[in-house]
C-alpha cells in the first residue's frame, strides 16, 4: 500500500485594508442606492450575512469610483502577487522548507486574469527553481480551496518524494461595480472579502493531517447558480439566492455517494470542515448533513472575521480546526461554480 500524502503545513494571509460591515453598508448606500431602487429593501442582507469585518485589496476610497477592466486587472496583479508571496512564505516557513525545495506549484484563482500566471510572476521574489512544474487553475471559484488541495495531493502521490505547494488567492472585492446593479451585486457587496491560503504537501512525511480521499460532484443544468459574466468593466458576479435551498436539498445525497466510494458514511466523519458561503449556507449545510445546529462554529467565526473570500475561505476554517486540534477523521468540503461540491477526506496525523 502506498504511503499517504501528508499536509506538512498550512498558512493564511489577508490584505491590510479592513472594512467593518457597518462601513460597508454606508459606502454601498452612498454609491449604489441612487441607481438601484430596491437598495433599502435589499440592505437587510448586510445585517443577516453574519459578517463583522472583511479585508480588502484596496483602501475603501478606491471602491467609491468606477474602475475600468484594466484598472481592476492592475489591482489584481499587484495585490494577488503580494498575497501569494505572503501566504506561500508562511507555509514554507512552517514546514521548514525553502522555495527551492518546491517541485510543483498549484495556483488557484478565479477573481482575475493573469497570463503569465501568479506563480510565474513571483518566481524571482520567492526563489522557485526554474524547473518547477506550474499548474495554474481558473474557474473553480469557491470550490477551489478543496479541489486545489485535492489536485495538489494527487500530484504529490504521482511523484513520491516531491514537494507540492498549493496556493489560492482571491480578490472578490475587485468585482464591485456601479453599472447595471442587481440583487446579486448587493448580496456580493455584503458578503465577499479578499484573502489567500497556502499549503505544502509530500508523501509520507510528518504533518498535521493525511489526505485519504478526494471526490467531486457536479450537478447537471446548474450553470446559472454561481459564476462570472464578462462585461465591459470587468467580471460581474452570478449568484443565485437559491443556493442555501439547493444545498439543503441536494448536499446530503451527494455526500453519501462520495463517501460511499471511500467505504465511509456521514456517521464515520468526526467533523465536516465547510466553506462558509454565507450564514444561510452554513445553516443549510448543518441541516443537510444532520449536524447539530451551531456545530459549524469555526465556519461562522471565519465568516464573521473575514467574509466569504471564495476559495481560501475553507482553508481558513481548516487552519482554525488545525489549531484547536484535528479530529481523527474529517472532510473538507466546498460548493462552487459548476455547480459543484468538492471534498477532501482527512485523517489526523498520529
pLDDT in tens, 286-333: 999 999 999 999 999 999 999 999 999 999 999 999 999 999 999 999
Question: How far is 162 from 160, CA to CA, in rounded Å?
Answer: 6
Confidence of residue 342 (pLDDT cuts 50, 70, 90): very high
Q: Is 344 helix (H, G, I), strand (E, B) or coil?
A: strand
Confidence of residue 1 (pLDDT cuts 50, 70, 90): low
- Largest pairwise CA distance in the chain: 64
**101 CB neighbour count, 10 Å cutoff:** 17
Per-residue pLDDT at 251: 94
Question: How far is 219 from 341, CA to CA, in rounded Å?
Answer: 9
**Nine cell digits for residue 343:** 471534498
Q: What are phi and psi of 278, to 5 degrees?
A: 175, 165
Helix axes 183-191, 21-32, angle to 10 degrees: 150
**Helix ranges restricted to H, the chain:** 21-32, 39-42, 45-48, 69-95, 118-121, 123-126, 144-158, 183-191, 243-260, 279-289, 297-306, 312-324
pTM: 0.94
- The residues annotated as belonging to the active site are 142
In which residue ranges of the chain is CATH 3.40.47.10 found?
A: 5-203, 209-348
Q: Which of 33-47, 127-141, 149-163, 227-241 has the lowest mean pLDDT?
A: 227-241
Q: Is 254 helix (H, G, I), strand (E, B) or coil?
A: helix
**Nine cell digits for residue 208:** 498535521
Q: Classify domain 209-348 at the CATH topology level.
A: Peroxisomal Thiolase; Chain A, domain 1 (3.40.47)
Per residue in 35-89, pLDDT tens? 778 888 888 889 988 999 999 999 999 998 888 889 999 999 999 999 999 999 9
Question: How far is 80 from 72, CA to CA, in rounded Å?
Answer: 12
Per-residue pLDDT at 233: 67
Per residue in 180-202, pLDDT tens? 777 878 888 889 999 999 999 99
What is the H or E stretch that residue 213 is in? Answer: strand 209-218
More confident residue, 67 or 12: 12
- Strand 329-336 to 271-274 pairing: parallel
Q: Classify domain 5-203 at the CATH topology level.
A: Peroxisomal Thiolase; Chain A, domain 1 (3.40.47)
Amino acid at each position: 500500500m502506498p504511503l499517504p500524502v501528508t499536509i506538512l503545513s498550512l498558512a493564511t494571509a489577508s490584505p491590510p485594508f479592513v472594512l467593518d460591515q457597518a462601513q460597508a453598508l454606508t459606502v454601498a448606500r452612498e454609491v449604489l442606492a441612487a441607481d438601484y431602487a430596491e437598495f433599502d429593501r435589499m440592505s437587510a442582507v448586510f445585517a443577516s450575512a453574519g459578517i463583522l469585518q472583511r479585508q480588502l485589496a484596496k483602501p475603501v476610497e478606491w471602491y467609491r469610483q468606477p474602475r475600468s477592466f484594466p484598472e481592476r486587472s492592475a489591482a489584481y496583479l499587484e495585490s494577488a502577487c503580494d498575497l501569494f508571496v505572503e501566504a506561500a512564505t508562511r507555509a514554507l516557513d512552517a514546514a521548514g522548507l525553502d522555495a527551492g525545495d518546491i517541485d510543483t506549484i498549484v495556483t488557484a484563482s478565479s477573481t482575475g486574469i493573469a497570463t503569465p500566471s501568479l506563480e510565474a510572476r513571483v518566481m524571482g521574489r520567492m526563489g522557485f527553481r526554474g524547473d518547477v512544474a506550474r499548474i495554474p487553475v481558473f474557474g473553480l471559484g469557491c470550490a477551489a480551496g478543496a479541489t486545489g488541495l485535492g489536485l495538489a495531493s494527487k500530484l504529490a502521490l504521482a511523484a513520491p518524494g516531491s514537494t507540492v505547494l498549493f496556493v489560492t488567492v482571491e480578490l472578490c472585492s475587485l468585482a464591485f461595480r456601479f453599472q447595471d446593479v442587481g440583487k446579486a451585486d448587493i448580496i456580493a457587496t455584503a458578503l465577499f472579502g479578499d484573502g489567500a491560503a497556502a499549503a505544502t504537501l509530500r508523501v509520507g512525511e510528518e504533518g498535521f493531517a493525511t489526505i485519504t480521499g478526494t471526490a467531486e460532484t457536479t450537478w447537471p443544468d446548474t450553470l446559472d447558480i454561481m459564476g462570472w459574466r464578462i462585461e465591459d468593466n470587468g467580471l460581474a458576479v452570478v449568484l443565485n439566492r437559491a443556493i442555501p435551498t439547493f444545498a439543503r436539498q441536494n448536499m446530503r445525497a451527494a455526500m453519501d455517494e462520495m463517501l460511499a466510494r471511500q467505504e465511509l458514511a456521514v456517521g464515520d466523519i468526526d467533523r465536516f470542515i465547510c466553506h462558509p458561503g454565507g450564514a444561510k449556507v452554513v445553516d443549510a449545510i448543518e441541516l443537510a448533513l444532520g449536524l447539530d445546529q451551531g456545530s459549524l462554529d469555526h465556519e461562522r467565526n471565519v465568516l464573521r472575521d473575514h467574509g466569504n473570500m471564495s476559495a481560501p475561505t475553507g482553508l481558513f476554517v481548516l487552519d482554525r480546526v488545525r489549531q484547536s486540534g484535528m479530529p481523527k477523521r474529517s472532510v473538507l468540503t466546498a460548493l462552487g461554480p459548476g455547480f459543484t461540491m468538492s471534498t477532501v477526506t482527512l485523517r489526523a496525523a498520529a
